[in-house]
Structure 1
Amino acid sequence: MPTLPPLDGIRVVDLSRVLAGPYCTALLADAGADVVKIEPTAGEDSRHLGPFRDGESIYFNVLNRGKRSLALNLKDDADRKVLFDLLDTADVLVENFRPGVTARLGIDYDTVHARNPRLVYASISGFGQDGPLAGSAAYDLVVQALSGIMSITGSPESGPTRLGESFGDLVAGLFAAWGISSALVGTRESGVGQHLDVAMFDSMLAMLPTAHSQLQASGVAPAGVGNRHPVSTPFDTYRASDGLFVLAVASQSGFEKLAHTMDRADLLGDNRFADDTSRTDHEPALRAEIEIWAKDKTVAEVVAVLGAAGLASSEIWNVEQALSSEQSRHRGLVESFDHPVAGTIDYVRQPVVFGDSARPGVRRSPLLDEHRQPLLSEIASR
């Protein structure tokens, strides 16, 4: 019989806005937490960010699925009292104000911790709560630029290139959700919560183990190499008769299998391709051999032949193809809810399968201040 969702019974007060914080709390809601989103009386910033349908931000509604909304003016004493009363019932607080703002509002960690010592308080910011850049404005583009990820993305021709999604925000939100879950385990044992300091910059640096390894080994900062892997070859996009395919070979046995699949056993005796390092040094020559083999085959034919040989290869899907694929459908990745204004909204649920835990029922995003009365009643009856 399925057990309860892993975060069932955990209440999260969400003071965050736009992306990093809301993404974190959406993951927690997907895992069963009761997330109460505190919004300004005019609504959270991303309610006003496109794309829109019937005046409703699809972006906001995807990121705030499964939450309840309460609108408060945090500069107003009465509204701030409502917030503190709510925090007395909470297990987690998430905020992504610039460092110093919560202190000015009187809702900083020390103040909140004094009232509710069990509370896990997560602060998400661009550069952390201290350090020379702590007070700097941080958008994803800035963090990608400073973290080094842009310097290794793109090609020598294109120069540094931003990743095609706001990964600085998303990775910070992901680490925050991991940190909160870990801290809740500690709180269960100790009875005392703690302050989590999650920085976008730190989070992006933590995602660069290959580049960091290259730097340590050579003493030279790695640069962008396009779609190919910086260490292993062949590991890139290649051209067939009707488009591009990807091929990933990361072992000597894999290369031997590729050579036989191409009916080019002679490549195994070529010193240029003797090992992974040599193949990477002579990447253009090996690329030419692969593309000569593939030039009279379609992408589908190439992928079928390589797949039958047990090699990792695929066509390149766009976002629509990935979301609608049989793999996504089988895994149940895309869920949907009916919004009273915007209609049906699809979203990708958090992707971890928790064994026998029941998956929380699909809960839609909230209208602004929609849950004021039930939340005030819950506070009053505690």
Structure 2
Amino acid sequence: MARIQAGDALARFRVLDLSRVRAGPTCVRMLADFGADVIRIEPPPGIDANDNMFVDSRCSGDFQNLNRNKRSLTLNLKQPQGLAVFMRLVRDADVVIENWRPDVKQRLGVDYESLRRVNPRIVLASISGYGQDGPYAARPGFDQVIQGMGGLMSVTGHAGQGPLRAGIAVADSSTGLYAALGIMAALLEREHSGEGQWVHTSLLHSQIAMMDFQAARYLNEGVVPVQNGNDHPTASPMGLFRAQDGDLNIGVAGEGNWLRFCKVLGRPDWLTDPRFLTERDRIAHRADLKEAIETVLATGPLEQWAQQLNDAGVPAGPVYTMDQMFADPQVQHMKATALATTSTGKTCTYITQPVSLSRTPASIQAAAPDCGEHTDEVLREAGYTDLQIAELHAAAVV
């Protein structure tokens, strides 16, 4: 088959993907969906005992979503012939992405200085748990461990019930997105300088960045944030409230929203209640306010209140389960999913890119590849003859 081109925006770039698990593949997926020619380089079966970490099956929804729009080449980088093949690919590549522990690339000979000697325009993106140097650099980094060390678990959950992990891989996924942004910046800069550079980010730093206003409150006001359950720490009423038939998220921040909120609920008296006069007052008397609000909401169904509040300009919405979320008419209107068929004939459903470009949009053109599915094809593109390819197979290099 010809190279996979899911879009035009990044079609001029070739990416060599050495990454595994989630953070790296999340980064590469974004590049692939916008049209980059991505070659996923995997060790031949049996070389790396951790190669299938968190992978039930290559046909599982998670693996498919992370690795669609990519080609697969098997290559044993621990063999000199394998390293030679890789460097031959580097000559014509734009980006290399890896998420090993920092010392692995030096041991294999694929560190930035080695790559730039072959191709000065190459951009190397390195993703690690704790950074490329420092006292924790050699530590393995897993999402939940980083959620804990990065502060997220300390503010997640209900007060007094202990730390709680987020239900998704926040550190992994955000690091992948930050890495993709760094790659884009390096490629844009290369158009001016003609030179590549080393881009690196870590799960820990990304998680700290994701702490955003909570971290900024501590750094500038000295406030150590705590668990607030479903209540927003700096606004009230903003949280989860029980209606007649379910839970409703309501966001009332600012006096204008508070005025509209009281009007919708038919409680203008709250505007003069000394407990609720200001945002600070409403935070101080959050429990009283919640009880009063839920007394009113109990008189009507959730959908009715959500509609009335949104019509008045007050943000509100239900708490969906996954099936309810994908059935929502707005989600369907946004085309948040797309279909593709694997090499086994299985049709998989994929989550589309949430970023829309008016002229050069992303798309999903191909399912995730079988291990080594495009090995011979990629080697031929690199100039290897059929005889040379057969010799590489025979030597277990590919």
TM more than 0.5? yes
Q: Distance in 2 between matches of 1:341 and 1:186?
A: 41
What is the aligned counterpart of 1:225 among 224, 228, 253? 228
1:76 aligned residue (71, 76, 79): 79
Q: Do the aligned partners of residues 48 and 195 (structure 1) sit closer, same or farther apart at CA in structure 2, a change above 3 Å counting?
A: closer
CA-CA distance at 1:340 after TM superposition = 2.2
Alignment match, 1:373: 376
Q: Is the 8 A contact 2:40 2:72 kept in 1?
A: yes
Q: 1:179-230 deviations in whole A, cap 9, x for unaligned?
A: 1011100011111000011111101111122112321454231101001111
Say whether the 8 Å CA contact 1:15–1:93 is kept in structure 2. Answer: yes
Q: 2:256 aligns with which of 253, 256, 263?
A: 253
1:347 aligns to 2:350 (yes or no)? yes
**Residue type matched to 1:219 in 2?**
G
Shift of 1:311: 1.3
CA contact (8 A) 1:155 1:225 kept: yes
Aligned AA for 1:326? Answer: P
Map 1:1-382; keep pairs closer than 5 Å. Answer: 5-42=8-45, 45=50, 47=52, 49-52=54-57, 56-341=59-344, 343-360=346-363, 362-380=365-383
CA distances 1:117-139 after superposition (whole Å, capped 9, x unpaired)? 10010000001101111111210
**Secondary structure of 1:226's aligned partner:** coil
Contact 2:68/2:364 (8 A) holds in 1: no
| Maintained 8 Å contact 2:39/2:72 | yes
Deviation for aligned residue 1:361: 5.3
> Quick check: 2:61–2:349 contact (8 Å CA) kept in 1?
no
CA distance in structure 2 between the partners assigned to 1:303 and 1:98 by the alignment:
48
- Which whole-Å CA distance do the structure 2 matches of 1:192 and 1:97 have between them? 24
Which stretch has the larger CA shift, 63-72 or 302-311? 302-311
Alignment check: 8 A CA contact 1:169 1:200 kept: yes
Separation in structure 2 between the aligned mates of residue 360 and residue 288 of structure 1, nearest angstrom:
47
Q: Which whole-Å deviations, capped at 9, do the CAs of 1:63-84 have from their partners, x for residues lacking one?
A: 1000000001111111111111
Taking the aligned partners of 1:359 and 1:332, their CA distance within structure 2 comes to: 12
> Structure 1 vs Structure 2: percent identity of aligned residues?
36
Question: Structure 1: how far apart are the matches of 2:373 and 2:202?
Answer: 31
Using the TM superposition, give the Cα deviation of residue 240 of structure 1 relative to its aligned residue in structure 2, in angstroms. 1.1
Structure 1 residues 14-33: Cα deviation after superposition (integer angstroms, max 9, x where no partner): 00011110111011101110
Amino acid at match of 2:305: V
In 2, the alpha carbon distance for the partners of 1:169 and 1:213 equals: 22
What are the Cα deviations for residues 99-150 of structure 1, in whole angstroms up to 9, with x where unaligned?
1001011111111111111001000000110111111121001110001111
Does the CA contact (< 8 Å) of 1:176 and 1:198 recur in 2?
yes
Instruction: Kindly provide the amino acid, as one letter, of the partner of residue 294 in structure 1.
Output: L
Paired residues, number: 377
Specify every segment of 5 or more residues in structure 2 that has no aligned partner in the other structure, as ranges. 1-6, 386-398
SS at 1:273 equivalent: coil
More displaced 10-residue stretch of structure 1: 316-325 or 98-107: 316-325
Q: Deviations over 1:133-171 (max 9, x none)?
A: 111121001110001111111111322111101111101
With the length of structure 2 as denominator, give the TM-score of the two structures.
0.91
Residues in 2 aligned to 1:275 and 1:5: alpha-carbon distance in whole angstroms? 51
- RMSD of equivalent CA atoms: 1.8
How far does the alpha carbon of each residue in 1:239-289 deviate from its partner, in whole angstroms, 9 at most, with x for none? 112221110011101111111111111111012111111111111011011
